[in-house]
Amino acid sequence: MKNTTPDAGPRSPYDPDPTGEEDLWFLPELDAAEQAADLPWRVADVEKSDVETWRAAEAANAVALARAAAAFGALDERLRHAAKGAHHRIGLMQVAELSWHLGDRLTEDRIALFLSARITRAGSDIAGFARAGWAHRRLLDGQGALPGALGEFLGRVPVPEAAPRDLIERPQGAEFAALEDRFWAALAEMQENHPITRAAYAWALWHRFDLSGDTARIEGAVVVSKIGAENSRGGARFLPFDGATPIGAPDVQLSRFCAGTETFCLRAMMELDRITVWQRKATAATAHLSGRTPARLIKALSIWPMLSAEALELQTGASRAAVQRNLDKLSELGLVREVTGQGRFRMWKAKG
pTM of the model: 0.81
262 strand-pairing partners: none
Per-residue pLDDT at 103 exceeds 60:
yes
- Rounded Cα distance between 85 and 108, Å, is 15
- Rounded Cα distance between 211 and 153, Å, is 13
Please report the pLDDT score of residue 161 as a whole number: 58
Please report the pLDDT score of residue 209 as a whole number: 92
Is domain 53-158+169-274 classified as CATH 1.10.3290?
yes
Q: Which CATH class is domain 288-350?
A: mainly alpha
Ranges of beta strands (E only) in 101-173 are none
How would residue 163 be classed by pLDDT, with cut points 50, 70 and 90?
Answer: low
Tens digit of each residue's pLDDT (9 = 90 or more) over 268-286: 999 999 999 999 999 999 9
Which conformational region is residue 254 in: left (phi greater than 0), alpha (psi within -120 to 50 degrees), or beta? alpha
> Which sequence spans correspond to the domains of the chain?
53-158+169-274, 288-350
